[in-house]
Amino acid sequence: MSDLVGKRVAVTGGAGFLGNHVVERLRGRGCRDVFVPRSAEYDLRDGNAVARVYEKARPQVVLHLAARVGGIGYNKERPAETLVDNLLMGLQVMEQGRRFGVEKLVAVSSVCAYPKYAPLPFQEGDLWEGYPEETNGPYGVAKRVLALQARVYRQQYGFNAVALLLSNLYGPGDNFDPSSSHVIPALIRRCLEAADEGRESVEVWGSGSASREFLYVGDAAEAVVLAAESYEGREPINIGSGEEVTVRQLAETIARFTGFRGRIEWDASKPDGQPRRSIDTTRAQFELGFKTKTPLEEGLRKTIEWYLGQRETVAAQVEGRSG
């Protein structure tokens, strides 16, 4: 177990959804020297900008969470940006970290890296057995390369880099922008708006038959910090809840929790994305002692409660970005 107290820690993406929770966990552990590079000042796609991060913060530990990510629609509209930006950020953050002699780097990858038809539940050894699901293929490939980079840097340079493969995140602080949000915040927003307006139906992309495994953001943050403290392996680790649910079941639960009593209409002309997602978390339990604490229904209630309290602020932020 590596004590992070007294260490200088840099968290890329530390002002984002997962990053906010990770920084909070670090400070809860007593870690006071936490540096969060902001994109307005440091473009992590640029090696010179990343070098400035290391020169300013002199981190001993780096948690690389920064990513360009969105829902199915966003990924279909911006595949080149999604691929290139994520590749460049990962390559530069790890390479500059190696050059600056960082003691440890935790690279956060994604379940989207898995092949479209990987055997269920997904096991870490199946990562390279096919191309990811097409609608998020560029993002998945970039995140797969990040896990590979951690492995080969350890192999060639002895650089202490480890990779985590996180399942779909949700929770307080999620992105509720309809142009780029993932399924849970999108459904919460649509159902609440429909309930408020007395609408009789809500339209949802796909058939509803696809399944996902969702991970509460607070649990994900704990896994990231545990990996920084205790994992030294060359293989990536799956981080998930072990709770698979269909999108149809998810939509019905969210409708019930938000008070929407109308119909859910499925637009089967739109893509479902990957048919099923369920991951094997045996390695996480063995290597990190990690197991999720937040069941899906509890996490959904917390997320809805947070959004209801932040609705006006979130709407203003979305309007500001679109304007």
Give per-residue pLDDT as tens, 180-224. Answer: 888 999 999 999 999 999 999 999 989 999 999 999 999 999 999
pLDDT band at 1 (very low <50, low <70, confident <90, very high): very low
User: Which residues are catalytic, by number?
Assistant: 139
- For residue 56, is pLDDT > 90? yes
Is residue 306 one of the residues assigned to a domain?
Answer: yes
- For residue 257, is pLDDT > 80? yes
Is residue 119 one of the residues assigned to a domain?
Answer: yes
Is residue 2 one of the residues assigned to a domain?
Answer: no
- Stretch 227-231: mean pLDDT: 96
- Structural domain count, the chain: 1
Q: What is the pLDDT of residue 321?
A: 63
Range in 63-77, 124-138, 186-200, 300-314 the model is least confident about: 63-77
**Alpha carbons 39 and 243: distance in angstroms, whole number:** 34
**Encoded amino acid at 12, one letter:** T
Q: Looking at beta carbons, which pairs linking 95-100 to residues 24 or more positions away fall under 8 Å?
A: 95/47, 96/47, 96/50, 96/51, 96/53, 96/54, 97/54, 97/59, 97/62, 97/159, 97/161, 98/153, 98/157, 98/159, 99/51, 99/54, 100/51, 100/54, 100/55, 100/58
Is residue 132 one of the residues assigned to a domain?
Answer: yes
Is residue 263 one of the residues assigned to a domain?
Answer: yes
Q: What is the pTM of this model?
A: 0.94
Is residue 322 one of the residues assigned to a domain?
Answer: no
Q: What is the pLDDT of residue 113?
A: 96
**Alpha carbons 214 and 295: distance in angstroms, whole number:** 9
- For residue 323, is pLDDT > 60? no
173 alpha-carbon distance from chain centroid: 12
Is residue 220 one of the residues assigned to a domain?
Answer: yes
Q: What is the pLDDT of residues 83-95, one digit of tens each?
A: 999 999 999 999 9
What CATH number does the domain containing 99 carry? 3.40.50.720
Q: What is the pLDDT of residues 140-190, one digit of tens each?
A: 999 999 999 999 999 999 999 999 999 999 999 999 998 888 899 999 999
Is residue 1 one of the residues assigned to a domain?
Answer: no
Residue 77: domain span:
9-316
Q: What is the pLDDT of residue 319?
A: 67
Q: What is the pLDDT of residue 240?
A: 97
pLDDT band at 227 (very low <50, low <70, confident <90, very high): very high
